[in-house]
């Protein structure tokens, strides 16, 4: 039986789903914390020690979580992902894709650089300049969103609605990430999550937030929506621009009906989406990994499963 290492500190529901999906392909899953992996550069030894895989390496790695920490700690975790790939172990999504997307500044740059519609965004160090940008936007009738560069699940995001909000404007670890607020289409608050695997949209949903923050982790409800070709196209292009095996793409529709890509997640949760869609997302992910990166036998099973 082949062995997959799932990097996570909290296997939970997603871990169970992946375990089942990979078991169907003849692979077992070991849950491993990236904090426990280490390099050992000694003669005659594998340079990388993955707990549970001592003296060997997994057939592939599925990255379900990269813990936060100091810059050095996070660099070490990413080094482990990069090293695995150099040692010919498939890493899904790989370290480069994760690096690009956990950093909202780089994500915004890559989206913009690819010519995709993403809200006006400023990423900078200087507080005086950040205040000047915010003031200028407010004067022109636009609210702003301030986000932590490495945030997720809506944590730490603030909305700058009026001049007095500028008093509390602080950067996250010294960096300001400011983005024009997009007033969403329709009543209430909503945006969309589009799930892409290997260049194909497999499911999408609308998220309705209790406030303008539409993260499921912040209490947004999930609603199944019909496939919208414009969003499908945008999500596929955005995933390609960030070179990801799979991605959860956040897209908001504005009052004029235009779509904007807000962000791309390289380690997206799919519990909310799974609750409103008919495909088995974990199975599609496992099949994709197996069919493109694992042995011929796994490939055949994955292809048979997808029929």
Ligand X SMILES: Nc1ncnc2c1ncn2[C@@H]1O[C@H](COP(=O)(O)OP(=O)(O)O)[C@@H](O)[C@H]1O
Counting Cβ atoms within 10 Å, is residue 182 exposed (0-12), middle (13-18) or buried (19+)? buried
Instruction: Determine, following the binding rule CB under 5 A, whether residue 250 of this chain makes contact with Mg ion.
Output: yes
In the shown chain, the binding pattern of residues 205 to 224 toward ligand X, with x for contact by CB under 6 A and - for none, equals: ----x--xxxx---------
Q: Which stretch binds Mg ion (CB under 5 A): 42-50, 85-93, 116-124, 243-251?
A: 243-251
Residues 163, 170: Cα–Cα separation, whole Å: 14
CA 238 to chain centre: 12
Helix (H) / strand (E) element for 191: namely: strand 189-197
Exposed e or buried b per residue across 200-239, where buried means at least 16 C-beta atoms within 10 angstroms of its C-beta: ebbbbbbbbbeebbbbbeeebbbeebeebeebbebbbbbb
Q: Which stretch binds ligand X (CB under 6 A): 53-61, 88-96, 180-188, 227-235?
A: 180-188
What residue 191 binds from ligand X, Mg ion, none (CB within 5 to 8 A, per partner kind)?
ligand X
Determine the size of the site formed for ligand X (CB under 6 A). 22
In the shown chain, the binding pattern of residues 102 to 131 toward ligand X, with x for contact by CB under 6 A and - for none, equals: -----------------x------------
For 257, phi then psi, to 5°, come to: 95, 0
Instruction: Determine, following the binding rule CB under 6 A, whether residue 2 of this chain makes contact with ligand X.
Output: no
A 10 A CB-CB count for 147 gives 23
Q: Which stretch binds Mg ion (CB under 5 A): 20-28, 52-60, 80-88, 247-255?
A: 247-255
Q: What is the closest distance, in whole angstroms, from the C-beta atom of residue 148 to ligand X in the complex?
A: 8
Helix (H) / strand (E) element for 239: namely: helix 229-241
**What is the C-alpha end-to-end distance of the chain, expressed in Å?**
23
Find the binder of ligand X among 94, 191, 245, 288 (CB under 6 A).
191
What residue 151 binds from ligand X, Mg ion, none (CB within 5 to 8 A, per partner kind)?
ligand X
Site for ligand X in 242-281 (CB under 6 A): 250, 252, 262-263
What residue 157 binds from ligand X, Mg ion, none (CB within 5 to 8 A, per partner kind)?
ligand X
Half-sphere exposure of 11 (CA within 13 A, CB side): 13
Q: Which stretch binds Mg ion (CB under 5 A): 26-34, 158-166, 263-271, 287-295?
A: 263-271
Residue 8 in contact with residue 15, Cβ under 8 Å? yes
Give the interface with ligand X as residue ranges (CB under 6 A): 119, 145, 147, 151-154, 157, 179-182, 191, 209, 212-215, 250, 252, 262-263
């Amino acid at each position: 039986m082949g062995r997959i290492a799932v990097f996570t500190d909290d296997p939970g529901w997603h871990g169970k789903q992946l375990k089942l999906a990979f078991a169907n392909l003849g692979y077992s899953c070991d849950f491993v914390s990236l904090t426990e992996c280490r390099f050992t550069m000694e003669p005659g030894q594998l340079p990388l020690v993955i707990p549970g895989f001592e003296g060997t390496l997994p057939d592939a790695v599925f990255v379900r979580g990269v813990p936060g920490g100091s810059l050095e700690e996070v660099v070490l975790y990413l080094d482990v992902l990069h090293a695995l790939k150099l040692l010919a172990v498939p890493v899904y999504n790989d370290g480069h894709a994760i690096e690009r997307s956990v950093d909202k500044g780089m994500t915004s740059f890559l989206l913009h650089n690819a010519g995709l519609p993403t809200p006006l965004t400023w990423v900078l160090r200087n507080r005086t300049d950040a205040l000047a940008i915010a003031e200028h936007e407010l004067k022109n009738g636009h609210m702003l969103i301030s986000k932590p560069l490495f945030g997720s699940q809506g944590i730490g995001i603030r909305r700058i609605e009026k001049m007095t909000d500028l008093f509390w404007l602080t950067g996250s670890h010294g960096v300001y990430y400011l983005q024009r607020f997009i007033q969403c289409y329709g009543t209430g608050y909503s945006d969309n999550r589009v799930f892409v695997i290997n260049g194909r949209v497999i499911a999408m949903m609308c998220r309705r937030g209790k406030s303008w923050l539409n993260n499921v982790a912040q209490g947004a409800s999930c609603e199944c929506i019909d496939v919208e070709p414009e969003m499908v196209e945008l999500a596929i292009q955005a995933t390609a621009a960030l070179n990801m095996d799979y991605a959860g793409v956040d897209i908001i529709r504005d009052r004029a009906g235009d779509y904007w890509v807000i962000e791309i997640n390289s380690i997206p949760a799919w519990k909310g989406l799974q609750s409103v869609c008919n495909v088995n997302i974990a199975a599609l992910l496992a099949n994709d990994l197996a069919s493109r990166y694992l042995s011929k036998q796994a490939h055949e099973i994955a292809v048979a499963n997808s029929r």
